[in-house]
């Protein structure tokens, strides 16, 4: 065991400033100085594992180390905030299911193809919730449709949970009873998503900074990107929202978190007239 295993490793302001910059450049995540303690405690544990005495060698490791890409992955697994749940913010999801989805089903009745991207999906509760909504809305028509739902996140650790389809009590805390009994099977303390819902969603690691990788996925009808832009500054938000604009169909929909806003950003989106929806469409010229 490392000699530093139980010792708190202090981070100087200078080390914090360097790490903050490195993290920002890689991911767009902006750590305010008041959150220094978060990095200090979460990465302090990593330093102990690596048997490093302080943050300087770690910064070098991340900057010029031969395994820096792997270490970035390890670091994001530790520093990201992955809070989520099934049916999170139900009034907003009602807008999606009752107002937006019927419009899209009508608009795509010729191709019978719908593509949904849950960007920064954490452990998958959000894209699986969308799958449940599509499943119950299309009902017996579902086999006639080609539905693609992609969940992406920067952290491989949460995607691992997502792919398992197995969830504890905390993940289902906002799930209506009727959905719980219809789409999950209890297994001990866990709830396992039924295979027909699991099979509707695929997962992939994606960093929202990576515009090229986003292009590779083509055009989406719906993008959900909730509760991650709060960690970005305006410059990063504009980049991400600009990328969504390129990757959305002209009549597509963007859903953001209820405490987020595109106001004051230079974007080509206009808010749709659903107060609970926090959803946007492209500005028509």
Ligand X SMILES: C[S@@+](CC[C@H](N)C(=O)[O-])C[C@H]1O[C@@H](n2cnc3c(N)ncnc32)[C@H](O)[C@@H]1O
Question: Which stretches of the chain bind ligand X, using CB under 6 A?
Answer: 27-29, 80-84, 88, 120-122, 126, 153-155, 158, 207-209, 226-228, 257
Residue that is written with structure tokens 């767009």 in the block: 28
Q: Which is nearer to ligand X, 208 or 248 (CB)?
A: 208
Catalytic residue among 26, 42, 68, 205: 42
Q: Which is nearer to ligand X, 84 or 267 (CB)?
A: 84
Q: Which is nearer to ligand X, 107 or 265 (CB)?
A: 265
- Rounded to a whole number of angstroms, the minimum distance from the CB of residue 158 to ligand X is 5
Quickly list DSSP for 109-141.
TTT-EEEEEEET-TTTHHHHHHHHHHHHHHGGG
153 is catalytic: yes
Q: Which is nearer to ligand X, 4 or 122 (CB)?
A: 122
Q: What token pair was written down for 53? A: 């005495």
SS3 letters across 249-271: EEEEEEEECCCCCCCCCCCCEEE
Pairing of strands 248-256, 184-187: unpaired
Short-list 142, 149, 154, CA closest to 69: 154
Query: Residue 261: CA atoms inside 13 Å, Cβ hemisphere, count?
Result: 4
Q: Name the CA dihedral angle for 21, 231, 198, 109, rounded to a multiple of 10 degrees.
A: -110
Catalytic residue among 21, 26, 113, 153: 153
- Rounded to a whole number of angstroms, the minimum distance from the CB of residue 85 to ligand X is 7
- Rounded to a whole number of angstroms, the minimum distance from the CB of residue 2 to ligand X is 27
DSSP 33: G
Work out the angle at residue 219's Cα, subtended by the Cα atoms of residues 145 and 254, and round it to the nearest 5 degrees.
90
Q: Which is nearer to ligand X, 4 or 129 (CB)?
A: 129
- Rounded to a whole number of angstroms, the minimum distance from the CB of residue 51 to ligand X is 27
- Rounded to a whole number of angstroms, the minimum distance from the CB of residue 80 to ligand X is 3
d(C-alpha 178, C-alpha 37), whole Å: 42
- Rounded to a whole number of angstroms, the minimum distance from the CB of residue 278 to ligand X is 11
Q: In Å, what is the CA distance from 241 to each residue of 37, 98, 225, 234?
A: 30, 25, 10, 10
Please give the distance of CA 65 from its chain centroid, rounded to a whole number. Answer: 28
Q: What token pair was written down for 148? A: 């693609």
Q: What token pair was written down for 160? A: 């691992």
Q: Which is nearer to ligand X, 53 or 210 (CB)?
A: 210
* Residues designated as active site: 42, 153
């Amino acid at each position: 065991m490392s000699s530093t295993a139980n010792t708190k490793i202090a981070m100087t302001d200078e080390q914090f400033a360097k790490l903050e910059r490195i993290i920002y450049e890689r991911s767009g995540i902006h750590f305010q100085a008041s959150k220094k303690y978060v990095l200090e405690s979460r990465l302090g544990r990593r330093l102990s594992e690596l048997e490093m005495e302080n943050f300087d060698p770690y910064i070098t490791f991340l900057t010029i180390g031969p395994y820096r890409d792997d270490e970035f992955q390890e670091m994001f697994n530790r520093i990201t905030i992955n809070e989520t749940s099934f049916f999170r913010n139900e009034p907003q999801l009602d807008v999606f299911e009752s107002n937006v989805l019927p419009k899209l089903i009508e608009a795509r009745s010729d191709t019978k193809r719908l593509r949904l991207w849950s960007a920064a999906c954490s452990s998958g509760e959000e894209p699986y919730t969308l799958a449940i909504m599509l499943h119950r809305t299309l009902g017996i028509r579902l086999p006639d449709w080609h539905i693609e739902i992609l969940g992406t996140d920067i952290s491989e650790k949460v995607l691992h949970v997502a792919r398992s389809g197995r969830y504890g009590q905390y993940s289902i805390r906002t799930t209506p009873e009727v959905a719980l009994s219809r789409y999950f099977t209890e297994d001990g303390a866990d709830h396992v998503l039924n295979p027909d819902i699991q099979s509707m969603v695929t997962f992939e690691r994606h960093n929202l900074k990576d515009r090229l990788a986003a292009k590779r996925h083509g055009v989406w009808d719906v993008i959900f990107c909730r509760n991650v832009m709060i960690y970005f500054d305006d410059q990063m938000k504009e980049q991400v929202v600009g990328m969504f604009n390129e990757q959305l169909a002209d009549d597509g929909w963007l859903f953001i978190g209820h405490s987020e806003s595109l106001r004051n950003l230079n974007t080509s989106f206009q808010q749709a007239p659903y107060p609970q929806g926090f959803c946007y469409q492209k500005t028509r010229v």
